Chains A and B, each alone.
Chain A
């Protein structure tokens, strides 16, 4: 059974701090790993990491994938209050489609 575990469960930082969120996974057939940000309702897509794309960066956010050790990290530098959200990590199961197995999420709170 596929499994995704995220840590820490929650995190409180101050604006300007750098945070690292962790995601470890066990899947039968690895195709990709996805990061989503969920502020109030709909998760919004951040990154997809695959065997051919193990490092992604967008502004202050970056993510890497370690396929050997089966984990991924999401880094946020110079955090802002708008980064406060739940960050979800997910892996698709099977050989096609987007039946996703999600981790429990990390709740990040950025204080002014």
Chain B
């Protein structure tokens, strides 16, 4: 079945460590996105990628990095520079970058906790 797979579901990180969250999709979507969700709040855009080998900063990119070497994969690294990384991270994808209106499809998320 087509979909978006995020791993791991739960991740614990010590302060000062970098961690990488995985996001893989088999929907043949060109565009992929990373959002962060804090308790009781909506989602905020971290990074997005319109096409392979291209990505752009979203609203809260500081302390995060991404890569887009393959169409199917858009990993997110949470670096030690991110001051408050404990949150729920959601990856999404959508059809080719175009003017037409389409919805974004979401993965099941990764809950990151700094211990």
Contact = CB atoms under 8 A, between A and B. Distances in A.
A104 B104 contact: no
A103 B40 CA distance: 11
A88 B50 CA distance: 24
B99 A100 contact: no
B43 interface: yes
Interface string A81-112: 00000001010100111111111110100000
Given A32-B101, A34-B103, A45-B103, A99 B48 contact: yes
A100 B104 contact: yes
Contacts of B44: 102
Interface string A48-90: 1010000000000000000000000000000000000000101
A102 B105 contact: no
Size band of the A side of the interface?
20 to 34
B107 A98 contact: no
B41 A41 contact: no
B74 interface: no
Contact of B41 (A34, A42, A105): A105
Contact of A31 (B33, B43, B101): B101
Contact of A41 (B103, B104, B105, B108): B108
A23 to B, nearest CB: 11
Nearest to A104: B42
B64 interface: no
B76 interface: no
Contacts of B75: none
Given A100-B45, A102-B42, A104-B40, A95 B99 contact: yes
Contacts of B108: 41-42
A98 B42 contact: no
Chain A CB within 10 Å, residue with most, of B94, B97, B103: B103
B106 A42 contact: yes
Interface of A: 4, 6, 9, 31-32, 34, 36, 41-45, 48, 50, 88, 90, 92, 95-105, 107
